[in-house]
């Protein structure tokens, strides 16, 4: 009774609102573009100073880069005359005709012109294999793996080196160069390092002391020395250890060096994944009567590799960048072909080097950044189950 009376009394009071006040919009300086600016760029005197400083830096750097790459760039021409400041009487940016003329050299090296279709076929086959494996919804990815790890290496080898019996003219690896060599070195490193790395990682965690010792020695030794010295070892010491008649060519030696180097790093990545698998998984597998190989293949490795995929891709990015080091042992990878082309008197101008390096930078940036984006997307997808 009293409560109802009280309520009635309150509702009758003139100064009590009967309807709720509509929420007022936040102050204009806290929302929208202005609020964002305030919070993210101008929150304190120090931040204002920083913003102005960086703004000035960008206002100077970005136009310079755009001017060099596009506005002042030379787009047509047949030799260095087109890209010389004192001939053209204007500011000169990137010298694109140089890249345009040398593009086949950057891609194929000195591969015979009539045989270059073979390299194109190789690129297409590789692209199919990569898409098949990396696109997670692709049909029959098991066939894709067989294609990538078995069929592709064999056919590419026959295609690129040649086989007279089926009418493919043999091409010496000395003639290979440019993107072709970069891709071949990277692909061999990628294809060899994973299985070798898994074997070494399993060896390092083995219960057999000899196996463990040998794996540890190999891994720590390779990881302790620079790749340059491994490549030097492969290129000057390997021929000594092998009977003279079998002596491998320069490219194969570098490939051996890269593959061994990459597999030692891969072993550590895989080992980290193996360590992340709880002991119960091993014990469970043993309890249902699986043998060592079955336990690893069916239970442990699928889980271990799943958690390490991002790290594996990161190792591949490192490997892809490291392929440039074959330059030092005299192999004509992309960087080396650019080095050779840039000092060619026909195109020697003050901007030729920078133009060449810009091309290389774009190439490596596209590949490495693409791989790292893929790794991140993969990580997000694989950890979806862990996030709730």
Q: Does 80 bind other proteins (CB under 8 A)?
A: no
Q: Is the dihedral of CA 93, 95, 97, 99 positive or negative?
A: negative
Q: Which is nearer to other proteins, 224 or 385 (CB)?
A: 224
Distance in Å, CB of 330 to other proteins, minimum: 12
Using alpha carbons, select from 208, 223, 212 the residue that is nearest to residue 268. Answer: 223
Task: Dig out the tokens for 255 from the structure.
Answer: 């490939």
Is the distance from CB of 251 to CB of 176 less than 8 angstroms? yes
Distance in Å, CB of 324 to other proteins, minimum: 4
**CA–CA distance, 359 with 62 (Å, rounded to integer):** 18
Distances in whole angstroms, Cα of residue 170 to Cα of each of 12, 130, 177? 103, 26, 16
**Mask of contacts with other proteins, 333-352, x by CB under 8 A?**
--x---x--x-------x--
Using alpha carbons, select from 321, 322, 192 the residue that is nearest to residue 267. Answer: 192
Among 32, 62, 131, 223, binds other proteins (CB under 8 A): 223
Distance in Å, CB of 56 to other proteins, minimum: 11
Is the distance from CB of 312 to CB of 194 less than 8 angstroms? yes
Stretch that binds other proteins, among 73-81, 127-135, 172-180, 365-373 (CB under 8 A): 365-373
Q: Which is nearer to other proteins, 108 or 364 (CB)?
A: 364
Q: Name, in order, each residue with C-beta under 8 angstroms of 188's C-beta and a sequence gap of 6 or more.
A: 255, 258, 259
Considering only residues 23-62, where is the footprint of other proteins by CB under 8 A? Answer: 39-41, 43, 47, 50-51, 54-55, 57-58
Q: Does 241 bind other proteins (CB under 8 A)?
A: yes
Q: Does 324 bind other proteins (CB under 8 A)?
A: yes
Three-state DSSP string of 51-69: HHHHHHHHHHHHHHHHHHH
Distance in Å, CB of 333 to other proteins, minimum: 10
Q: Which is nearer to other proteins, 30 or 237 (CB)?
A: 237
User: What's the angle, vertex CA 244, arms to CA 242 and CA 171, rounded to 5?
Assistant: 100
Stretch that binds other proteins, among 72-80, 143-151, 224-232, 254-262 (CB under 8 A): 224-232
Is the distance from CB of 326 to CB of 254 less than 8 angstroms? yes
Q: Does 265 bind other proteins (CB under 8 A)?
A: no
Helices H / strands E in the chain, number of each: 18, 0
Q: Does 330 bind other proteins (CB under 8 A)?
A: no
Among 199, 211, 305, 307, binds other proteins (CB under 8 A): 211
Q: Name, in order, each residue with C-beta under 8 angstroms of 195's C-beta and a sequence gap of 6 or more.
A: none
Among 16, 210, 278, 387, binds other proteins (CB under 8 A): 210
Q: Does 317 bind other proteins (CB under 8 A)?
A: yes
Among 29, 88, 229, 383, binds other proteins (CB under 8 A): 229
Distance in Å, CB of 14 to other proteins, minimum: 45
Among 207, 279, 387, 388, binds other proteins (CB under 8 A): 207
Q: Name, in order, each residue with C-beta under 8 angstroms of 253's C-beta and a sequence gap of 6 or more.
A: 234, 235, 238, 239, 329
Alpha-carbon torsion angle 138, 139, 140, 141, nearest 10: 0
Q: Give the binding site for other proteins (CB under 8 A).
A: 39-41, 43, 47, 50-51, 54-55, 57-58, 207-211, 214, 220-221, 223-229, 232-233, 236-237, 239-244, 317, 321-322, 324-325, 327-328, 335, 339, 342, 350, 353-354, 357, 360-361, 364-365, 368-369, 372
């Amino acid at each position: 009774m009293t409560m109802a009376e009280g309520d009635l009394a309150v509702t009758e009071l003139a100064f009590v609102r009967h309807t709720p006040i509509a929420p007022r919009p936040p102050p204009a300086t806290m929302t929208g573009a202005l609020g964002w600016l305030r919070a993210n760029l101008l929150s304190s005197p120090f931040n204002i100073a920083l913003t102005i400083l960086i703004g000035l830096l960008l206002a100077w750097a970005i136009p310079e880069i755009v001017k060099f790459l596009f506005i002042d760039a030379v787009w047509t021409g047949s030799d260095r005359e087109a890209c010389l400041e004192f001939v053209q009487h204007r500011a000169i940016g990137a010298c694109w005709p140089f890249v345009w003329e040398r593009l086949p050299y950057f891609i194929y090296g000195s591969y015979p012109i009539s045989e270059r279709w073979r390299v194109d076929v190789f690129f297409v086959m590789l692209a199919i294999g990569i898409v098949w494996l990396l696109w997670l919804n692709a049909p029959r990815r098991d066939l894709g793996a067989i294609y990538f790890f078995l069929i592709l290496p064999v056919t590419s080898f026959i295609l690129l080196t040649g086989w007279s019996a089926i009418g493919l003219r043999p091409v010496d690896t000395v003639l290979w160069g440019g993107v072709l060599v970069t891709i071949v070195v990277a692909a061999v490193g990628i294809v060899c390092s994973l299985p070798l790395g898994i074997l070494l990682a399993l060896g390092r965690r083995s219960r057999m002391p000899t196996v463990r010792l040998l794996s540890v020695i190999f891994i720590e030794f390779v990881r302790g020395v620079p790749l340059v010295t491994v490549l030097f070892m492969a290129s000057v010491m390997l021929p000594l250890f092998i009977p003279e008649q079998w002596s491998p060519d320069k490219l194969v030696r570098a490939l051996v060096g890269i593959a061994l180097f990459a597999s030692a790093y891969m072993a550590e990545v895989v080992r980290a994944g193996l360590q992340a698998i709880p002991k119960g998984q091993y014990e469970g597998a043993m309890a249902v009567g699986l043998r060592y190989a079955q336990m690893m293949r069916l239970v442990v490795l699928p889980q271990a590799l799943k958690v390490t995929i991002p790290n594996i891709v990161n190792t591949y990015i490192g490997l892809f960048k490291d392929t440039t080091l074959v330059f030092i042992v005299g192999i004509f990878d992309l960087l080396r072909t650019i080095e050779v082309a840039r000092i060619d008197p026909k195109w020697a101008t003050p901007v030729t080097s920078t133009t060449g390096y810009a091309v290389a930078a774009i190439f490596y940036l596209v590949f490495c950044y693409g791989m790292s984006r893929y790794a991140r997307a993969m990580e997000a997808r694989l950890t979806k189950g862990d996030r709730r």
